[in-house]
């Protein structure tokens, strides 16, 4: 699932493939950019901000632009060598193809694809909270933003990218398990928010640079998570069946014993 670490990895793949190169051909397959031609533009760098990807370009007239994309649940960028067979995903999902002398970058099922002046990037990502994998990571500011609505459940608050940028559903479930906090606990009743966001940051950082996301330390298939994706399977700590239920707009997984309900929290039913 594309969370902050996956997006960070993707940005690095694109950076290695394209940074410093001149684009020899571009092919946008989305209506809003159908007539855009980046031929002759130079790729300065590729960066991530939370779950947003920013490919920074210099136009032929010297102006700086940013190609923004978001992977959401199902998007991906792949880099291929020229002439290499494009693998993995069906062609109808392709949203953009960028060619350079040394690489071909293909964006599949990208969301929010937009080309904006680099000076205006903040219009797209300025609302985000501190980026867990960014150079400006600031746990105190993340805690302050998380606490903005103390009545909200911590399970929903952690997914709000305006509080901290990069946590998705997998890390949300795993961090709450590791901290022994029920996802239904009101933010204001979580004992140590600083410890919680710091653990989230460490988990994402530990998985940076590889595509398998693990919170357990194991990279073996079926052993990479404590609760996420493990409905009805025994808790790795206490043996209780892991539960799965909707919380807000997403499902959440938790162990009812290791993550006891807070008295102020509405019952998960």
Tell me how far apart the 2 most distant CA atoms of the chain are, in Å.
63
Does residue 121 have an active-site annotation? Answer: no
Q: One symbol per residue from 180 to 219: x for binding Zn ion (CB under 5 A), - otherwise; what is it? A: ----------------------------------------
Asked whether position 71 contacts Zn ion by CB under 5 A, the answer is no
**Tokens linked to 151:** 């009545």
Q: What is the three-class DSSP state of 151?
A: coil
Least gap, CB of 238 to Zn ion (angstroms)? 3
Residue 39: how many other CB atoms lie within 10 Å: 11
What is the rounded CA–CA span in Å between residue 32 and residue 81?
Answer: 28
Active-site hit among 208, 250, 256, 268: 250
Active-site hit among 44, 49, 51, 230: 51
Asked whether position 238 contacts Zn ion by CB under 5 A, the answer is yes
Does residue 250 have an active-site annotation? Answer: yes
User: Which has the closest alpha carbon to 147: 164, 133, 135, 132?
Assistant: 164
**At which residue do the structure tokens 């594309």 appear?**
2
Q: Do the beta carbons of residue 231 and residue 242 sit within 8 Å? A: yes
Choice from 11, 94, 235, 247 touching Zn ion (CB under 5 A)? 235
Asked whether position 140 contacts Zn ion by CB under 5 A, the answer is no
Residue sitting closest to Zn ion (CB): 235
Residues that bind Zn ion (CB under 5 A): 235, 237-238, 240, 255, 257-258
Question: What positions carry a catalytic annotation?
Answer: 2-3, 51, 250
């Amino acid at each position: 699932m594309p969370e902050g670490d996956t997006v960070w990895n993707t940005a690095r793949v694109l950076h290695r493939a394209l940074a410093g190169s001149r684009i020899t051909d571009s092919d946008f397959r989305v209506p809003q950019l159908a007539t855009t031609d980046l031929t002759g533009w130079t790729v300065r760098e590729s960066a991530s901000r939370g779950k947003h990807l920013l490919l920074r370009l210099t136009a032929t007239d010297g102006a700086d632009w940013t190609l923004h994309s978001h992977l959401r649940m199902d998007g991906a960028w792949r880099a291929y060598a020229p002439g290499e067979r494009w693998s993995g995903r069906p062609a109808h999902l392709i949203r953009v193809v960028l060619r350079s002398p040394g690489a071909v970058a293909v964006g599949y099922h990208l969301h929010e694809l937009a080309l904006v002046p680099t000076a205006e990037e903040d219009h797209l990502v300025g609302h985000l909270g501190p980026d867990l994998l960014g150079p400006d990571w600031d746990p105190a500011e993340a805690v302050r933003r998380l606490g903005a609505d103390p009545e909200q459940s911590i399970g929903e608050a952690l997914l709000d990218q305006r509080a901290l940028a990069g946590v998705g559903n997998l890390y949300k479930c795993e961090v709450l398990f590791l901290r022994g906090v029920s996802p239904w606990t009101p933010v204001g009743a979580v004992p140590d928010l600083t410890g919680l966001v710091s653990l989230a940051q460490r988990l994402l950082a530990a998985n940076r640079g590889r595509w398998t996301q693990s919170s357990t330390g194991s990279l073996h298939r079926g052993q990479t998570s404590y609760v996420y994706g493990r409905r009805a399977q025994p808790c790795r700590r206490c043996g209780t069946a892991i539960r799965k239920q909707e919380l807000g707009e997403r499902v959440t997984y938790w162990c009812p014993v290791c993550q006891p309900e807070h008295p102020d929290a509405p019952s998960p039913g």
